[in-house]
Amino acid sequence: MNTPDPQVHAAALAAEPDSTPAGVAVIYTALPESTQVATLATLMDTVASYLGEEDQRRIRDAYRFGDEAHLGQFRSSGEPYISHPIAVAEICAGWKLDAESIMAALLHDTVEDTSVSKQDVHERFGSQVSEIVDGLSKLDRVSIDSREARQAESFRKMLLAMARDARVILIKLADRLHNMRTIEVLPPAKRRRIAVETLQVYAPIASRLGLYTLYRELLDLSFRAAYPKRFEVLSKAVRAARGNRRETIARVYADVQKALPKAGVNAKVFAREKALYSIYQKMRLKRLPFSKVYDVYGVRIIVETVLDCYKALGALHMTFKPIPGRFKDYIALGKENGYQSLHTSLMGPSNMPIEFQIRTEEMQRIAESGVAAHWLYKSEGEDFSDLQKLAHSWLKTLIDIEHNTGDPLEFMDHVKVDLFPDEVYVFTPVGDIRSLPRHATALDFAYSVHTDVGNKAVGARINGAPARLNEALSSGDVVEILTSENAHPQPVWLSYVRSGKARSEIRHFLKTMRYDESVALGRRLFQQALASLGIDANAVDSEMAERSARDSGAADLLSLYAEIGIGKRLAPLEARSLALLARGKPEAARIMPRLAPVLIRGDERSAVTYASCCSPIPGDQIIGHLRGGHGLTLHRNRCKTALRQRERDADRFIDVDWSDRLEGVFRTRIELSVTAGRGTLGKVAAEIAASDANISDVAMHEQGKDGHLEFVIEVRDRTHLAQLLRNLRRLPDVHTVSRV
């Protein structure tokens, strides 16, 4: 493969002959200054090294077909357009992808940019090639108005095709890589837009699939295109630092070369330079000048066996001082994309921190090629390698997210959330390992177990201790989820989940499962608003009501009710619109004798939220707050939070009351002061259960001989709660008990 390699050894850098310490192999990150125009001859030289004559013949046939289809088309650089598909195919051949992949790469723009159809490709080259090409082709641009929506829908289609066949994304990434290598011919604004998209979407996908060589080059190419001045300044600083720090690297290299043989480890040792964009990100996020970024260089050690990895780790820790908290074992706990290695940061000469990566040759191959390594080492009759199964598992979640998402832009947002660079590894109570995004919460864990577990979650236990659903998880935590049949997702959950799956499942529930409930609530609110204007809702002509709904921008009357029910529209305003329409009509003249409050039965589910600041239950005097997009929130009428909100937004508060017919149970919080001792918590919990109440959450704090207990409990009403409090006060270890 003749395309420039973004990583070259120092010996090959003729421009910097003095920058490398004697005897030290340093891997520098170097972007190509120019890219040669790809030709069929260079492609076939690469293909001939691993494919048979029949496959080579089919690839030449695909080239001739593509060349004819693109005849007369030119790139922005002035080169014949066919040079781009050849370059993409050559990158794929460098990964040693199969013949169908190389053919699809040669044809990937024919359906989109020429008169060739998917059926033409299918008839000429078979179903595999045509399906891959179709997955890579963008949608008809006429059908979607905004550029963002077109891009999002095209991206959605590509990812779903990728879920069926991982070769789609490999070819797409090769396509993006060549476009980034030749992006300098585009106008600055377009260069920046494409570069930012690459940083946000395509580079993270490459990382997610373990294609780290590609990932690093995409990062630096995008950095150069999006921020050319910053790129140039940082490049000069790094080149200068090579000379300033080469003596330190030489000393580290010499010490490592002495320590490893003593531990019985045969190894290859390389000094490794951090990617420019990674240096830039560290400077930006930690607000550091370049002179304070000490880990520009690291050391990579390639050993023969897994056991040697740990022996080398011990030898290094005996040679250099470890930095606490900077060791990661990605061998025992491999990343989701199959990456394995030991990472440790040690204090080198002159107190310079240096990161060491220790891995086997096989781990190194996976680290560089990721899922693309599968095709090179594919066994006879093998469908999926273990590595590709990991990638397929992630791709499967994309299909689940897509099923819950109708809007392509929303789907794009979910996927971006899931393209996280770091993971935390937590355990289920039975010892299974689950990987979640950094800063993931117990609720993210619940949805990773099963959608029903997430939807019914009410609390968690982390390492045996009670915890809230929004508590962030750390690697090594053992997590157990507490559920209740009466629980359901709340809109506030969206503010603290981190995984795309959790976010899409919550939104799906809020959009679909509560629609009927929102319609029912909205109808009641609308009828109350009509009553306040003196209009009998039963006397309103249905056609007039539908017309009023459409005039207000709703699709129909039911949609209007639903939007009122979730707080997107205000019932009093919609009622006034209908009243104006009905002015002078007979139905406007009927006067209602009273202004009825909205009655709460307890079965409204997610259309009604019970404010956690005051936890109202039947028997409390209540008020209702219509929050935009969140439905109706109930507060106790003396709740300080509600009173503050009412001062700012009085129009969104409505009269509510409890229905005579109540269903379900209601949550509230109580706190107890008790004598701290063995069995006290058990006695209190047993009394709560005996009083026919359910415990949703509990927290305990000890202060000397006294203890403080806090419970979230489910009761039927205030009468039920009062009886429970009386029963608790009778316990000898309980000093005080009160409702929070």
Q: Which residues are catalytic?
A: 112-113
610 and 666 Cβ atoms separated by less than 8 Å: yes
From CA 249, how far away is CA 258, in angstroms rounded?
Answer: 14
Instruction: Give the integer Cα–Cα distance in Å for 35 and 183.
Output: 11
Nearest CA-CA partner of 65 in 99, 96, 98, 108: 108
The 10 Å Cβ neighbour count of residue 69 is 21
Distance of CA 49 to the CA centre of its chain: 39
The span from the CA of 680 to the CA of 732, in Å, is 10
What would the two tokens of residue 255 be? 């010490």
Instruction: Please provide residue 156's backbone torsions phi and psi, each rounded to the nearest 5 degrees.
Output: -60, -45
Partnered with residue 673 across adjacent β-strands are 708, 736
What CA–CA distance (Å, rounded) separates 711 from 734?
A: 14
CB atoms under 10 Å from CB of 275, counted, come to 19
Instruction: With beta carbons less than 8 A apart as the criterion, state whether 112 and 64 touch.
Output: no
Taken as a whole, the chain contains a residue count of 740
Residue 86 near residue 93 (C-beta atoms within 8 A): no
3-state secondary structure (DSSP) of residue 378 = coil
Burial of 555 (0-12, 13-18, 19+ CB in 10 A): exposed
Q: Are 728 and 737 in contact (CB under 8 A)?
A: yes
- Other C-beta atoms lying within 10 Å of the C-beta of residue 279: 22
Q: For residue 227, give every residue at least 6 positions away whose Cβ sits within 8 Å of its Cβ, in sequence order, or none.
A: 280
Q: Which residues pair with 269 in a beta bridge?
A: 301
Count the neighbouring beta carbons within 10 Å of the beta carbon of residue 738.
11
Helix, strand, or coil here: 93?
A: helix
What is the spatial distance between Cα 335 and Cα 341, in angstroms, rounded to a whole number?
A: 9
